[in-house]
């Protein structure tokens, strides 16, 4: 399972996506969670680890390419 969030403006919204939803998705067995920050043009990629939790795997920026083992053949430049 893959969950994707696009951050809305405001600290409360960011905190909800970065903390509350991360914990919820981790408990529910989501295998990968992307948080897209359109203001800083970054993507935080969290992946399930051996510890059965979602951990930060990468923070991608404009020059990087977003790919996932859950989506074979998918690759998207973050700048797009």
Whether the predicted model's global pTM rises above the 0.75 cut:
yes
Per-residue confidence band for 51, with pLDDT thresholds at 50, 70 and 90: confident
Question: What letter would DSSP give residue 26?
Answer: H
Give me the residue label for tokens 């409360």: 12
CA 44 to CA 70: how far, in whole Å? 16
pLDDT band at 71 (very low <50, low <70, confident <90, very high): very high
Name residue, tokens 């399930």.
48
């Amino acid at each position: 399972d893959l969950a994707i969030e696009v951050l809305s403006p405001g600290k409360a919204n960011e905190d909800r996506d970065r903390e509350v939803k991360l914990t919820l998705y981790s408990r529910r067995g989501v295998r990968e969670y992307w948080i897209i920050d359109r203001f800083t043009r970054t993507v935080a990629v969290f992946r399930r680890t051996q510890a059965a939790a979602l951990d930060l795997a990468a923070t991608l920026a404009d020059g990087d390419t977003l790919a996932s083992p859950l989506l074979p053949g998918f690759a998207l430049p973050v700048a797009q």
